[in-house]
């Protein structure tokens, strides 16, 4: 895939970096003369693939873009020691930044947003802006538990892609029964196991480090967000039960300089989602940063 930009022509290419837990796999849209690099971080239980359209569009606007699978997700290595803590994910983010061209913009969905917040707090010169995609430091407990229950609900995997699609449809409550056409990109979120069944494309041990409201981890992210100085935008999904209006309001008080947008018809991104509803707000935020440079 080739993208024409104001600063050269680029093709998306696969990039593999070696980190503390093994390899990190990513997609890079690299311009010859970029304004900088937008680093796209996915949420827990997801992969880099929902960011493909966003990465390509960002490149059209003069930035390089890099979307990568977090450790234990997608085609990145599983951590031998099972370490999927936020400090470990921040370490991986810094490895990625060291391999890319600054200045950086961090775009993080869900867990990726928490990683971005902590990474920026630990390294205040890391990024010139943060876009948080339906994620705040203190999320709604009922919504979080619903997502975690879904992630843990199919330990034996699925007989088919159709069965996996049906599970997602039921979780989203869209009323569909079995579907003959799984959503585009679902295959990239699943792997065929030795048992001949389809399993989510992430290490199940990741759930032991998963976010839970009211914990020391959540408080740490909240403290880090309070110290953010760079431009921040929160893109809250209108239909999200993890970041409802009350949590959006609390974030606005926590980070008063943040721009807050509610994205019409958007849910919290989960496995198989393509992120398309968040594409334009992300690109608009990145373009706004370019105007300040």
Q: What CA–CA distances, in Å, run from 147 to 70, 153, 209, 233? A: 19, 10, 14, 24
Structure tokens at 213: 């409201």
- The pLDDT value given to residue 187: 84
Question: What are the extents of the domains in the chain?
Answer: 2-141+214-292, 143-204
Q: Measuring CA to CA, which residue among 80, 81, 94 is closest to residue 41?
A: 94
**Cα(136)–Cα(114) distance, integer angstroms:** 8
Q: Which residues contact 115 (CB under 8 A, 6 or more apart)?
A: 41, 70, 86, 89, 90, 93, 108
**Cα(109)–Cα(44) distance, integer angstroms:** 9
**Cα(208)–Cα(192) distance, integer angstroms:** 23
Q: What is the DSSP letter of 73?
A: B
Peptide bond preceding 198 in cis form (omega within 30 of 0): no
Fold (CATH) for 2-141+214-292: Rossmann fold (3.40.50)
**Cα(257)–Cα(231) distance, integer angstroms:** 7
**Cα(138)–Cα(258) distance, integer angstroms:** 16
Is 24 exposed, middle or buried (CB count within 10 Å of its CB: 0-12, 13-18, 19+)? buried
- The pLDDT value given to residue 167: 87
**Cα(72)–Cα(203) distance, integer angstroms:** 5
Question: What string of pLDDT tens digits covers the 293 residues of the chain?
Answer: 455 445 665 689 999 999 999 999 999 999 999 999 999 999 999 999 989 999 999 999 999 999 999 999 999 999 999 999 999 999 999 999 999 999 999 999 999 999 999 999 999 999 999 999 999 999 999 999 998 999 888 999 999 999 988 888 888 776 555 555 777 778 888 989 999 999 999 999 999 888 888 889 999 999 999 999 999 999 999 889 899 999 999 999 999 999 999 998 887 765 555 678 899 999 999 999 987 77
CB-side neighbour CA atoms (13 Å) of 60: 13
Annotate 208-231 with DSSP letters as a single string: GG---TTSHHHHHHHHHHHT--S-
Residues 178-202 as b/e (b if ≥16 CB within 10 A, e otherwise) read: eeeebbebbbbbbeeeeeebbbbbb
Q: What CA–CA distances, in Å, run from 206 to 62, 73, 76? A: 35, 9, 13
State CA 99 to chain mean position distance. Answer: 19
Give the predicted TM-score (pTM) of the model.
0.92
Q: Which residues contact 37 (CB under 8 A, 6 or more apart)?
A: 63, 64, 65, 66, 100, 101, 102, 103, 104, 105
- The pLDDT value given to residue 265: 84
> What counts of helices (H) and strands (E) characterise the chain?
8, 11
Q: What CA–CA distances, in Å, run from 241 to 55, 237, 290? A: 27, 9, 32
- The pLDDT value given to residue 290: 81
Structure tokens at 159: 């007989």
């Amino acid at each position: 895939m080739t993208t024409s930009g104001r600063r050269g022509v680029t093709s998306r290419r696969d990039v593999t970096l070696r980190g503390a837990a093994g390899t990190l796999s990513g997609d890079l849209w690299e311009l010859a003369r970029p304004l900088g690099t937008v680093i796209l971080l996915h949420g827990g239980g997801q992969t880099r693939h929902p960011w493909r359209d966003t990465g390509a569009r960002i490149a059209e606007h003069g930035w390089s873009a890099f979307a990568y699978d977090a450790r234990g997700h997608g085609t990145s290595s599983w951590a031998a020691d099972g370490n999927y803590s936020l400090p470990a994910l921040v370490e991986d983010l810094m490895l990625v930044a060291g391999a890319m061209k600054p200045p950086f913009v961090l775009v993080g969905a869900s867990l990726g947003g928490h990683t971005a917040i902590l990474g920026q707090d630990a390294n205040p010169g890391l990024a010139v802006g943060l876009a948080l995609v339906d994620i705040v430091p203190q999320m709604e407990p009922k919504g979080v538990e619903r997502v975690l229950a879904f992630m843990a609900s199919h330990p034996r995997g699925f007989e088919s892609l159709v069965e996996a699609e049906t599970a997602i449809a039921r979780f989203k409550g869209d009323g569909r029964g079995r579907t003959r056409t799984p959503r585009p990109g679902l295959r990239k979120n699943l792997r065929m196991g030795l048992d001949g069944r389809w399993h989510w494309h992430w290490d199940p041990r990741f759930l032991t480090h998963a976010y839970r409201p009211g914990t020391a981890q959540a408080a740490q992210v909240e403290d880090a967000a309070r110290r953010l100085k760079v431009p921040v935008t929160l893109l809250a999904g209108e239909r999200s039960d993890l970041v409802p209006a009350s949590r959006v309001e609390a974030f606005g008080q926590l980070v008063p300089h943040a721009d807050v947008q509610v994205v019409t018809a958007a849910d919290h991104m989960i496995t198989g989602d393509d992120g398309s509803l968040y594409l334009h707000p992300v690109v608009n935020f990145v373009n706004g940063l370019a105007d300040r440079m």
